Structure 1
Amino acid sequence: MNKESDKKERIKVRLSEEENEKLKRCAAACGLSQSEFIRQLCKGKTPKPQPQKEFWELLEALYTVHNSFQKCGKYEPSALSICKEIEGLILELQEVA
């Protein structure tokens, strides 16, 4: 790697108290430092907030239900179509996370 391309520049930014608090909240919600939050914005990326605990609980519940229907598939083939629906829901949830 080229050491020149890895060189970091320090900048100073003045923010109002309200702006500073918003930066802190947004960075924390995304699980990022304030510096990393700003770096991602500069790269044209929009940092996403981390999903809340309830999101992971819902996803875990869907996995459990899916596994149960999959086991029932041996005895009731229609259970496999429900599995496909649940898989679709899981994929949609993972995309928004």
Structure 2
Amino acid sequence: MSRKQSDKKVITVRLSEEEKQKLERCANLCGLSQSEFIRQLCAGKTPKAKPPREFWELLNALYSVHNGFKKCAIYEPSALTICKEIECLILDLQEVG
């Protein structure tokens, strides 16, 4: 057994069926095991729900549009303004996601 595993302690928690289902649902939404979900809560972190596939598709589409405008900037410098707006939008989405 590694030192890291030997440092961990096992606890037993009793939950109602409703609480157990909520824990399972919340951990699954975050893409975490139940243990990791609880560890993050104990560390004062609020686990976030894992963004759906459509979120990543949207982000990839924005990257593609951004790259297209960047290529156009050679011919039309005002395209760089649109690039900056898209970059801000991408950063905002990443914070939410």
Q: Which runs of 4+ in 1 moved over 2 A?
A: none
Q: Which amino acid aligns with 2:45?
A: K
What is the number of equivalent residue pairs in this alignment? 95
Q: What does residue 49 of structure 1 align with?
A: 49
Q: Deviations over 1:33-90 (max 9, x none)?
A: 0011001101100000111011001000100100010011011111110000000001
Give the CA RMSD over aligned residues. Answer: 1.5
Output the CA distance in 2 between the equivalents of 1:8 and 1:80: 52
SS of residue matched to 1:46: coil
1:23-38 alignment to 2 at 5 Å? Answer: 23-38=23-38
- Mapped pair 1:58 → 2:73: no
Q: What does residue 15 of structure 1 align with?
A: 15
Q: Which amino acid aligns with 2:90?
A: I
Q: Deviations over 1:6-40 (max 9, x none)?
A: 61111111111111001001001111100110011
Q: What does residue 95 of structure 2 align with?
A: 95
1:96, CA displacement in angstroms? Answer: 1.6
- Mapped pair 1:73 → 2:54: no
Output the CA distance in 1 between the equivalents of 2:78 and 2:8: 58
